[in-house]
Amino acid sequence: MKVVKKYDNIKVLVLGLAKSGLSAGKLLHQLGAIVTVNDGKDFDENPEAQQLLALGVKVITGSHPTELLDEDFELVVKNPGIPYDNPMVVKALDKGLPVITEVELAYQISEAPIIGITGTNGKTTTTTMIAQVLNEGRERQFAYLAGNIGKVASQVAQSVTEENVMVTELSSFQLMGIEEFHPQVAVITNLYEAHLDYHKNRGNYISAKWQIQKNMTPSDHLILNFDQKELRDLSKKTRASILPFSRKDTLSNGVYIKHGEIFYQEEKIMNSADLGVPGEHNLENALAAIAVAKLYGVSNAVIKKSLSTFSGVAHRLEYVGIVAGRKVYNDSKATNILATETALHSFENQKNQVILIAGGLDRGNDFESLEKSLAGIKAGVFYGETKNKLMKTAQDVGIQLIEKTDVLDEAVQAAFDFSEPGDIILFSPACASWDQFTNFEIRGDKFKTLIKNLEKE
């Protein structure tokens, strides 16, 4: 870990805990800052706050009193999930205080260079692919996963050395809070419409994602999906060197697919059919991973071996197994419509065998854009706050077998009842989990538990 003196005796407010706030609070305390932590959860139910208090950190819980900012803080480290229209954040910005997220701290202390990955969909799979390829065949770990993938970046950064690399998944929320953050290699998988409840409009969302290249230079590489015109246009607005990838076009200066073969700058890497996970979206993820691997000098044989054995990531079109002849997939990470469209498209040739389970938090949107992808499936089972909207969409495209339930437990049973051997049960919610579950991981684990229970019956 780099020696950082800038926080010595500096008053810092850490706003919001969970894993990122806990890590930021501990790190700043270690760096000599005078830390105050403020979290909305009551102290008795707040193990993170209890840990920090035990270290001697000042802790204020149960509410977010704006008068707290009347103290002479010099910096606010904000949990990424707290929006910028939160009264505490608004007051901090009005006072001219820098408001950062903990990935900025990670960059400042990391001895290892950073590979940053962002985008609307495919971030976690691409991040995991990259780390697996870079670590393939090594006796010791070289690439360390970090960031929005569940491994807090500022914690991972404390243990990596200049001989490692941090492969860091970055959300738009995290990227809004950077100042000096500077990846040597960055990937934008794709850009679609998402998180509008947080960003208010698409323009703000795209601007947040584009922050990833803010401090990049011509010696750095920015890997972009050139199947999207928006990213082709944005590529002209950065100082970084562009390395494009495309599933549709031949790119002599990038990574592309031609006649079922994957090429890097006209050099064949592998057959696209050899990729270990299904779906065109995963081909795009693999192209991005190959681009990174080639920049790091990984041989074609190692790339092929790694990607051929890649089995996916938990909750991202994860193959759960076969239950009474039904293939089961857990795609709990599908927290928006586009992700579910992508999942359905992965089974295009078997659509009439798909029983879709979807539903969750109602963010106020409709599901008309899902109609084309939904049409032709065998059955739909919908639960949670959005069950009625999803049922109407399914009815509008002529799906005959439809069931709605209140909870996931009932939805899984209904899907199994609709199915027969040879069918595919796909859990791809198209909604956030927060109506019934704390996060998509807990939701996905619950789904897998329910499936295991069916196996036992």
pLDDT at res. 311: 77
Mean pLDDT of 376-404: 98
Crossing angle of the two packed helices 18-30 and 47-54, in degrees rounded to 10: 10
Give the CATH H-level superfamily of domain 11-100: NAD(P)-binding Rossmann-like Domain (3.40.50.720)
DSSP string, 390-439: HHHHHHHTT--EEEEESSHHHHHHHHHHH--TT-EEEE--SS-STTT-SS
Q: Rounded to whole angstroms, how far apart are CA atoms 56 and 71?
A: 19
Mean pLDDT of 426-451: 97
Mean pLDDT of 281-307: 97
Domain limits, CATH 3.40.50.720, in the chain = 11-100
When the candidates are 1.10.3720.10, 3.40.50.300, 3.90.190.20, 3.30.465.10, the CATH number that belongs to 318-456 is: 3.90.190.20
452 is in an annotated binding site: no
Q: Tell how strand 221-225 and strand 241-246 pair up.
A: parallel
pLDDT at res. 457: 63
Residue with tokens 């584009």: 210
Domain limits, CATH 3.90.190.20, in the chain = 318-456
177 is in an annotated binding site: no
User: How confident is residue 112, by pLDDT bands cut at 50, 70 and 90?
Assistant: very high
Q: Rounded to whole angstroms, how far apart are CA atoms 364 and 378?
A: 27
Q: What is the pLDDT of residues 236-275, one digit of tens each?
A: 999 999 999 999 999 999 999 999 999 999 999 999 999 9
Nearest partner of 106 among 154, 143, 148, 145, judged by Cα: 154
- Residue that wins the pLDDT comparison between 192 and 431: 431
CA 327 from chain centre, in angstroms, equals 25
pLDDT at res. 435: 96
What lies within 8 Å, CB to CB, of 299 at 6+ separation is none
pLDDT at res. 279: 83
User: What does the buried/exposed string (b/e) look like for 431-445 if buried means 16 or more CB atoms within 10 Å of the residue's CB?
Assistant: bbbbebbeebeebbb
pLDDT at 171 over 80: yes
Q: What is the pLDDT of residues 301-320, one digit of tens each?
A: 999 999 998 978 889 888 88
Residue with tokens 């009193």: 65
Nearest partner of 264 among 306, 234, 296, judged by Cα: 296
User: How confident is residue 453, by pLDDT bands cut at 50, 70 and 90?
Assistant: very high
238 is in an annotated binding site: no
Question: What percent of the chain has pLDDT above 90?
Answer: 89
Structure tokens at 407: 């909870």
125 is in an annotated binding site: yes
Q: Are 246 and 224 in contact (CB under 8 A)?
A: no
Q: Rounded to whole angstroms, how far apart are CA atoms 12 and 76?
A: 6
H/E run at residue 156: helix 153-156
- Classify domain 103-308 by CATH architecture: 3-Layer(aba) Sandwich (3.40)
Domain limits, CATH 3.40.1190.10, in the chain = 103-308
5 is in an annotated binding site: no
Nearest partner of 94 among 85, 105, 107, 81, judged by Cα: 85
Q: Where are the extended beta strands (E) located within 16-100?
A: 34-39, 58-61, 75-78, 99-100
